[in-house]
A = this chain, B = another copy of it.
Amino acid sequence: MTGSYSLLVADLIGVAVFAASGASAAVAKRLDLFGVAFVGFVAALGGGILRDLVIGAVPPLAFADWRYAITAVLASVAVFWLHPQLNRLRRTVLLLDAAGLGLFTVTGTLKAIAAGVPPVGACLVGMLTAIGGGLARDLLTGEIPAVLQRDIYAIVALGGAIAVTVLSWLNVADMVTLAAAAAGMTSVRLIALYRRWSAPVAVP
């Protein structure tokens, strides 16, 4: 009970952070209030919607539980009004985004396994849950997705999804090990940001 409640709270914090990242991108592109709210919604919930469609959980959680949509829209509207102050919060946003990355990967992978998706597929679904929203955000704002270009981001999600799948296969996926997996992803992501790690690009 308390466990699932704290999971919901953590999930909604992830939604708010991802919505804020989408809304910021939309404000920068001079979209109107509706566009900002919509891109925020898609950035926060697009990955989960894709996950739920793939595992056959319809209607997706984003439409079945109103708290997700409302959280995403409120966070987006807040960014619309407050965005000049957001630059000062940039470090906080990056920190929360790294936390959301770890959390969304863990919940996405677990849901895929629970729905009977085999291991390789479950890893892909877990990763897509974490990166799907950012991909959709960039497509809607006319950019080639950042996650494909330079950052150590998706690869952290993929590694974390593999860890969760292995934990689940070993029957040791409990709150402690899963929290450790999420914290591990968040840490690697923050170190990658701090050290400016980037993935290799092909030799021309």
Contact = CB atoms under 8 A, between A and B. Distances in A.
Interface residues of A, number: 62
Contacts of A200: 32-33
Interface stretch (A1-9, A87-95, A99-107, A142-150): A142-150
A34 B148 contact: yes
Contact of A69 (B26, B34, B59, B120): B120
Contacts of A56: 56, 58-59
A35 B154 CA distance: 9
A175 interface: no
A148 B38 contact: yes
Interface stretch (A12-20, A60-68, A187-195): A60-68
Copies held by the complex: 3
A154 B66 contact: no
A76 to B, nearest CB: 11
Interface in A127-148: 135, 139-145, 147-148
A174 to B, nearest CB: 25
Contact of A139 (B66, B139, B198): B139
A125 B45 CA distance: 14
Interface in A153-200: 154-155, 198-200
Given A59-B117, A121-B59, A148 B26 contact: yes
A31 B63 contact: no
Contacts of A27: 202
Interface string A20-61: 000000110111111110110000000001000111101110
A27 B148 CA distance: 11
Contact of A32 (B30, B135, B141, B198): B198
Interface of A: 26-27, 29-36, 38-39, 49, 53-56, 58-60, 62-66, 69-70, 80-81, 83-84, 112, 115-122, 124-125, 135, 139-145, 147-150, 154-155, 198-203
